[in-house]
Amino acid sequence: MWRLAGYELRKICCRKMVYVSLAFLIFMNVMTYWRLGPSSERCLTAEGEMLEGVEAIRYMQEFDRRYAGVLTDGRAKEIYESSYPPEAVDKAGGDFWYVCPDILQYLDGAFYESGGMGVESLFTPEMGEIHLGYHRGYSMLLFSMINIMLVVGCVIVIAIAPVYAEEYSRGTDALILTARYGKTLEVKAKLAASFLFSSLLCLAVIAVNYILFFMVYGTEGGDTSVQVDFTKRNWEIPYEMDYMQLAGYCVLIWLMASLLLTGITLVVSAFCNTSFTAVVFAAACYVVPVWFSLPGWAAVLMPAHQMLPQGVLNLGCIRIFGREVMSLWIVAGVCAAAMAVSGIWSKKKFAGRQVV
């Protein structure tokens, strides 16, 4: 069967539209890295000097390392009042909070959100101790990955939609299904190739971007609490988590979303008579839910919403049989079940078209 799966995988990869979509994905990745990567960094030093690029990154790392530790109201006030002299702030004017180190950006947002009640009032006991530290590398990496993974979803739709529909339009479906292994190994090979393509594409894109960011930013700050970031919605995650864990969970969520989208696209492909209609309907299933305001649980079961991992993690924990279970694992279970159902359903639909 694996030889057949390899053949089906080559068929998926060798379509012209797949080449075009992969080229667009590479272009988007390059542009995103240029816009949000190291070249976009700017930082004002305590002496009033503006640094850019790698120099800015190294300065912010040194600054945040100096003030790293458990966050308390007293420590927040000390950092906030003593880190930068007034003349440096005055020199930057209204742009100061866009070019100062991340810890100061966070504390400024925390003071505003707390309404003067102190930063500790923002956190719940489930979040544990909040650890300050350098986290910009992780933060910018995960933020930039959102747009990239949305494009990955589009590539998956374009690549997987013709799997069954192309056989219908060419009239080869009856030929395949009347062959000795057509209704068994051939259909299984199509499913295996489809899920393998999506998995490899998703993991390859994640690996390339993680390596690119870690080469410049390093892995420093992995033990920093994710709640110390107001700008990327991480502060809404309602339980204890650091950036190293968040980076790992994001990989799982993106892979889960890619496989779920593959299952949905296979079902659409099995019901459409041409590749074009399959792409259109599968793309609609992927994109249209984003335009509607759905309840939290309904939203995170949609692949496009899962490309924003914080939406899944922000749901918190649910008590099942007396145990607290992270929403991530519940969504993963639902997606695994949906993948299985989509595989069985699309296989049954395709086999049902056999001409006797």
Mean pLDDT estimate for the chain:
81
Classify strands 317-320 and 50-52 as parallel, antiparallel or unpaired: unpaired
The answer on 170 and 54 residing in a single domain is no
Count of domains forming the chain: 2
Q: Quick check: is 356 in a domain?
A: no
Place of tokens 């960011």: 213
Final residue of a domain: which of 116, 132, 148? 132
Let me know whether 203 and 307 are in one domain: yes
Pairwise CA distance, residues 102 & 229, whole Å = 8
Determine whether 98 is exposed, middle or buried from the number of CB atoms within 10 Å of its CB (0-12, 13-18, 19+).
Answer: exposed
Same domain membership, residue 256 and residue 206: yes
pLDDT at 254: 92
Would the pLDDT of 15 be above 70?
A: yes
User: ∠ at Cα 267 (255, 192), nearest 5°?
Assistant: 55
Return the DSSP state at 225.
B
Residue with tokens 């041409």: 274
Q: Is residue 203 part of a domain?
A: yes
CA count, 13 A, side-chain hemisphere, 106: 30
Per-residue model confidence (pLDDT) at position 157: 95
Residue 184 has pLDDT above 70, yes or no: no
State whether 307 and 211 are in the same domain.
yes
Amino acid at position 252, single letter: L
Residue 231: pLDDT band (50, 70, 90) is: low
Domain assignment present for 237: yes
Distance CA 150, CA 202 (A): 11
Residues 32 and 178 in one domain: yes
Give the C-alpha separation, 184 to 241, whole Å: 45
Query: Which of these three, 132, 149, 168, is where a domain ends?
Result: 132
Torsion, Cα 343 197 36 70, to 10 degrees, reads 60
Phi, psi of 347 (to 5 degrees): -65, -45
Q: Are residues 92 and 224 in the same domain?
A: no
Q: Are residues 195 and 304 in the same domain?
A: yes
Q: pLDDT digits over 102-138, tens only? A: 777 777 666 656 565 666 667 777 777 888 888 888 8
Report pTM: 0.85
Do the domain assignments include residue 266? yes
Give the pLDDT confidence of 21-33 residue by residue, as tens digits: 999 999 999 999 9
pLDDT at 335: 81
Residue 264 covered by a domain:
yes
In a shared domain, residues 188 and 255? yes
- Integer angstrom CA distances of residue 13 from 1, 161, 194, 277: 18, 12, 10, 19
Q: Is residue 128 part of a domain?
A: yes
For the record, the structure tokens of 179 come out as: 């062959």
Residue 19 pLDDT grade (very low, low, confident, very high; cuts 50, 70, 90): very high
Q: pLDDT band at residue 161, thresholds of 50, 70 and 90?
A: very high
Q: Mean of the pLDDT values across residues 57-76?
A: 81
Domain that holds residue 287: 2-36+137-351
Residue that terminates a domain, selected from 114, 132, 150: 132
Residues 215 and 279 in one domain: yes
Nearest CA to 332 out of 251, 269, 241, 227 is that of: 251
Lowest average pLDDT, out of 128-137, 165-174, 216-225, 248-257, goes to 165-174
Most confident among 62-66, 112-116, 191-195, 326-330 (mean pLDDT): 191-195
Same domain, 107 and 168: no
Mean pLDDT of 274-292: 88
List, for residues 240-278, the tens digit of each pLDDT value: 888 999 999 999 999 999 999 999 999 898 888 888 999
Position 190 scores a pLDDT of 85
Rank 61-65, 209-213, 310-314 by mean pLDDT and report only the highest: 209-213
Tell me, yes or no, whether 169 and 88 share the same domain. Answer: no
| 30/159 same-domain check | yes
